[in-house]
Structure 1
């Protein structure tokens, strides 16, 4: 693996120090803007995450109401966030120029030690649009049919058709996921049970607890710790499975590679095993959803997530390529470009008539654009690898799991391509690979709905 310290030394310019400070100040300002965002709901002031959660409501009128309120909230803060983004783009452009680059995009490829080229990313953008979006349109048509709507509107594109939460108590969640993991490989469930017995899980919700979830390796002990603020939901089920993918990866690294004083977790690799774990358990959701139609709905939702993780980060990446190679763009041009890109990808099957302007400004809600520039495409790349894992698993479950464990324990100092190869998949964004995955997704969709 390339040395990140060398990159930092290569890119260091003293004149950029105050610019980095200013960049952090703008990032903090964005957090304050979004953190203070509230919306009135039925006469009561509600935090923004509550309103967003209503986009999954089974009642279409509730989803539409939530959608309009979210867009109205974005419009309220748009002048401030436009000014903030304008300043960030110019500031980052200057950082790049000071370091000897033509634009911030080129600068970030060096800063992130990318093992692939800018052209590779553009090819990936095009190949997904050509070969993955048709499969997404097919799944979206299934959702449209299940919803019983004539027009698939923006507030329908978020709806989940699962009527009930998959569990009531956190202990039930852990029991069920342990069983799912055990049916895939005994080692997977052994790690979860070990973590539960040794206080390495903090999953329940409680007053004052920080939102979100994460998995962290503990290098001295070789353990991993999973933190989350879960309430009963399909998302929480998927999130625990996802974090257990990271945990298994961490345990295998510790057991095979020994204590690691310092290394960089590359998202292209780490997310392969978390997304991969989700898909390896796709055929076991019936442990939480025993009724056939609910089971199929859960599988469809996991597929929706897989599609979203393919084209969502990818479209965000393309948006940032455009922003930073056109640093003199206006706020209006930025919104228009964002709508254009979303319509090419996730919103391709959606009737967006009359909402072009609202959709165009929705970049406001993506914190990556502000706080983690160019940290997006890695998720799409790892999901492409995870789909190959699922393809292998459907052909030969035992062999696919052994490859998963081998890759998850591989030396992280290798190239990304070498680690993927040990996992039995390719780190490849060529048209032939993306086309094969598009055809495979069509087959999975057909199998679930047959």
Structure 2
């Protein structure tokens, strides 16, 4: 990775507690610093505050070591040394950290001086620590290790998904370009090649998921809980219930699915087809060639930087400062998907994507850029726990940039028609997101409240749930396993259960900010950046309110925002 640009914006934070030359070698190298923290006498609220800052410093150093290993492994899953370095941390360091973290939290929580701290500042931390203490038992430490190992196994399997096509070995993101081609036979051939490659690993992924499910159920039982869902909602500090999520699924079915199906019906008519097939969803319905926003990742990075500059120079400056901490192209052996992580000690974001030259890659980099802005905006927070917000608001940070960036699609296209197409496709993705989130989330609610189910029962339930929310495609004559195992490509189901509904909740927040942006761009960006600065110091509801938006996923709010999206889609249609 190249050196960071604009060091003034990303000023370093010199160590005040841990020795400047300390590097993480193993758990034993960390222990003396943990012992110093645990043995330190605390005689006042000021002592306790300073102690928390020192805990944060050590956490940042160790967290950065972990994240650097994870980044290296995901950038090259075929490199055995990088995988082993990551797994060494998971197996040998993380279990001891879990024990030490519990002792640290208890020292804070049991301190008589905690009650002397300002609850407006420390109230959220109290809740975080109290919940973590409640949900910690030593016998779950080896289960955490197993789950991390299994997540790495999933990444290794899916990172090897390549096919021989059109004379070359191609990754799945690279293959997605063929689904945009106007030649129907070529699209179908590409779709079949992709789905058959995924199906080759279906037995392995089914077995892997069964092991994950069993381990997670055991994890919940060890805590005296009846199911993993109960654990997950507690651990995520959710102020909404499973019933609220199920009601949200119903609202999506009523308020969004009809709009999605109207869009799909219009596509079918434009393509003059009797029925839409699975390979007909990404091609331009009017037969125009695929959008080609960029040829290489340098153009992608430069163009997205220009979009951020147009939205607001402050965003352009932040993005320009981190161009050296990105890995953007798709290649064999690279883990799937995209993410933004933070090098915790430096408090600097790192962006990972699998770009292949399609419009969706622009959206992804805008999205991950939003996460990076969040990291930069709250990097001055003295306590590490407040440098990360809850996922419901973290995804507002990212999804808002997809929408703020949409009016500036002309950065990548000279032709006005292409600009309108790019904008239309982005808003289509907004609509499509809600039914897919409802499908994934409803599926997980069933999975974890029925832990003794069989693989066949799981496949049947997936088909039932996806039938509620899909666009009504024609699957006649196709391998039925393609639909049964379509969820295998969604890494969240394997790696981070119950982290998905947040995307839909956050999309509602992002759409509210976009509505503000269309009326007054400067004020909307000001509200956005101001809320990002608060990091994780407030609940999702209060973070939404600080941005001038409502934490509301009722059918009323959903219908109101979908009407806005549909109206804008109509203005962009040809």
Determine if the TM-score, normalized by the shorter chain, exceeds 0.5. yes
Distance in 1 of aligned mates of 2:329 and 2:148: 32
Q: 1:144 to 1:428 in 2, by over 3 A?
A: same
Q: Which sits farther off after the overlay, 264-273 or 33-42?
A: 33-42
Q: State the shift of 1:43 in Å.
A: 7.4
Counterpart in 1 of 2:372? 247
Q: State the shift of 1:51 in Å.
A: 4.0
Match of 2:509 among 385, 390, 393: 385
Which one has a bigger Cα radius of gyration?
A: 2
1:8 aligns with 2:135: no
Counterpart in 2 of 1:99? 223
Q: 1:210 to 1:127 in 2, by over 3 A?
A: closer
CA displacement 1:265-288 (0-9 Å, x = unmatched): 422111101110110121111222
Q: State the shift of 1:141 in Å.
A: 3.2
1:190 aligns with 2:314: no
1:261 aligns with 2:388: no
Q: 1:30 to 1:201 in 2, by over 3 A?
A: closer
Contact 2:159 2:333 (C-alpha < 8 Å) held by counterparts: no
| TM-score (norm. length: structure 1) | 0.88
Counterpart in 1 of 2:290? 163
Distance in 2 of aligned mates of 1:207 and 1:326: 37
Q: Which sits farther off after the overlay, 283-292 or 322-331?
A: 283-292
Q: Which sits farther off after the overlay, 374-383 or 220-229?
A: 220-229
CA displacement 1:308-352 (0-9 Å, x = unmatched): 33332332111010011112222122112112222222x224233
Q: State the shift of 1:17 in Å.
A: 3.6
SS at match of 1:155: helix
Contact 1:241 1:278 (C-alpha < 8 Å) held by counterparts: yes
Unaligned runs of 5+ in 2: 1-123
| TM-score (norm. length: structure 2) | 0.70
Q: Which sits farther off after the overlay, 89-98 or 164-173?
A: 164-173
Distance in 2 of aligned mates of 1:331 and 1:207: 30
Q: Which sits farther off after the overlay, 260-269 or 111-120?
A: 260-269
Match of 1:235 among 344, 357, 360: 360
Match of 2:262 among 125, 134, 138: 138
SS at match of 1:215: strand
Q: Which sits farther off after the overlay, 307-316 or 49-58?
A: 49-58
Q: State the shift of 1:406 in Å.
A: 2.1
Q: State the shift of 1:203 in Å.
A: 4.6
1:119 aligns with 2:246: no
CA RMSD in angstroms, aligned pairs only: 2.9
Q: 1:170 to 1:35 in 2, by over 3 A?
A: closer
Counterpart in 1 of 2:526? 402
Distance in 1 of aligned mates of 2:532 and 2:291: 34
Unaligned runs of 5+ in 1: none
SS at match of 1:102: coil
Counterpart in 2 of 1:351? 474
SS at match of 1:83: helix
SS at match of 2:320: helix
Distance in 2 of aligned mates of 1:284 and 1:136: 25
SS at match of 2:384: coil
Counterpart in 2 of 1:179? 306
Contact 2:199 2:481 (C-alpha < 8 Å) held by counterparts: no
Counterpart in 1 of 2:183? 59
Q: State the shift of 1:417 in Å.
A: 0.7
CA displacement 1:169-204 (0-9 Å, x = unmatched): 5444344333322332222222233445xx455556
Matches within 5 A, 1:187-336: 187-196=314-323, 199-200=324-325, 203=328, 213-217=338-342, 223-228=348-353, 230-254=355-379, 257-263=380-386, 264-336=388-460
Matches within 5 A, 1:63-102: 63-102=187-226
Counterpart in 2 of 1:427? 551
Q: 1:70 to 1:216 in 2, by over 3 A?
A: closer
SS at match of 1:381: helix
Q: State the shift of 1:146 in Å.
A: 4.5
Aligned positions, number: 445
Distance in 2 of aligned mates of 1:204 and 1:366: 20
Contact 1:310 1:384 (C-alpha < 8 Å) held by counterparts: no
